[in-house]
């Protein structure tokens, strides 16, 4: 799978050079991948946030354009990335119970409901499944490679849009959406993925005081989701 995808993508991705079988010493399949140079992306390391967003959008557009026939479907093995957001409905409610008094539950439910109601066209497309800063490598401040395809598959690629809220700047998010030509329904689903992910992080870190900085960072992302949603729907 990886070699087929790699040949169609504008940035390097991990390609296996050797595979191993389970044995008495290690009871799981294993593989060795070619090394990719770069450092994990972070906001302070990105030279040009808009250029970064466009480069990422071009990569995802190319990925979605690869023939999806025979690709792996979403399931337990990839935590249902590429499937319906309704898989996480109960988790959202559990997070809201944990975060009672710390978040605007009414607004969260409104954003979540819009995401659930936003229809997917049912056409399978390739998705990465975990587009997060740790899986995006930089070289001299520019996007240089995308790694960790363990959750990739074919289905609804809206899950790959969560990065627009969890990492991109407001200008970068706008450029990202324009370059990917994302319609309102897919954008709403992508926002839903970002919302679920951020709520889960907020709930977990609230219960673990040693992760207080992560809670503050997640709340900042949640506020960004609120603001972007309100701006888009101000005239509706």
pTM: 0.95
Task: Report residue 165's pLDDT band, with 50, 70 and 90 as the boundaries.
Answer: very high
Gap between the Cα atoms of 137 and 41, Å rounded = 5
| pLDDT per position as a tens digit, 21-48 | 999 999 999 999 999 999 999 999 999 9
Task: Report residue 221's pLDDT band, with 50, 70 and 90 as the boundaries.
Answer: very high
3-state helix, strand, coil in the chain (%, to 5): 55, 10, 35
Residue 179 lies in a domain: yes
Residue 24 lies in a domain: no
Residue 19 lies in a domain: no
CATH number of the domain encompassing residue 89: 3.90.1200.10
The pLDDT of residue 235:
60
Gap between the Cα atoms of 236 and 35, Å rounded = 49
Gap between the Cα atoms of 215 and 219, Å rounded = 6
Residue 109 lies in a domain: yes
The pLDDT of residue 211:
92
**Is the separation of the CB atoms in 129 and 81 below 8 Å?**
yes
Residue 2 lies in a domain: no
Residue 153 lies in a domain: yes
Residue 176 lies in a domain: yes
Residue 18 lies in a domain: no
The encoded tokens of residue 52 equal 């970064």
**Is the separation of the CB atoms in 162 and 153 below 8 Å?**
no
The number of distinct structural domains making up the chain is: 1
| pLDDT per position as a tens digit, 68-84 | 999 999 999 999 999 99
Look up the domain containing 45 and give its range. Answer: 38-232
Helix (H, G, I), strand (E, B) or coil at 138: strand
The pLDDT of residue 236:
56
Q: Summarize the confidence of residues 142-159 as an average pLDDT.
A: 97
The pLDDT of residue 3:
84
Task: Report residue 133's pLDDT band, with 50, 70 and 90 as the boundaries.
Answer: very high
């Amino acid at each position: 799978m990886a070699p087929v995808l790699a040949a169609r993508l504008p940035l390097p991705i991990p390609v296996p050079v050797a595979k191993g079988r389970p044995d008495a010493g290690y009871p799981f399949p294993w593989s060795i991948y070619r090394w990719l140079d770069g450092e994990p992306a972070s906001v302070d390391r990105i030279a040009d946030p808009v250029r970064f967003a466009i480069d990422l959008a071009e990569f995802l557009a190319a990925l979605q354009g690869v023939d999806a026939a025979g690709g792996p479907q979403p399931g337990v093995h990839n935590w249902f990335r590429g499937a319906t957001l309704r898989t996480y409905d109960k988790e959202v409610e559990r997070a809201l119970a944990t975060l009672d008094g710390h978040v605007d539950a009414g607004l969260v439910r409104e954003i979540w409901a819009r995401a659930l109601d936003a229809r997917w066209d049912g056409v399978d497309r390739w998705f990465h499944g975990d587009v997060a800063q740790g899986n995006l490598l930089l070289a001299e401040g520019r996007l240089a490679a995308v790694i960790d395809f363990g959750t990739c598959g074919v289905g609804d690629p809206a899950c790959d849009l969560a990065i627009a809220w969890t990492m991109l700047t407001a200008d970068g998010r706008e450029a990202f959406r324009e370059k990917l030509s994302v319609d309102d329904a897919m954008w709403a689903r992508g926002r839903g993925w970002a919302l679920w992910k951020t709520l889960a992080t907020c709930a977990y870190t609230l219960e673990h005081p040693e992760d207080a900085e992560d809670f503050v960072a997640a709340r900042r992302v949640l506020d960004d989701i609120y603001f972007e949603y309100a701006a888009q729907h101000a005239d509706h």
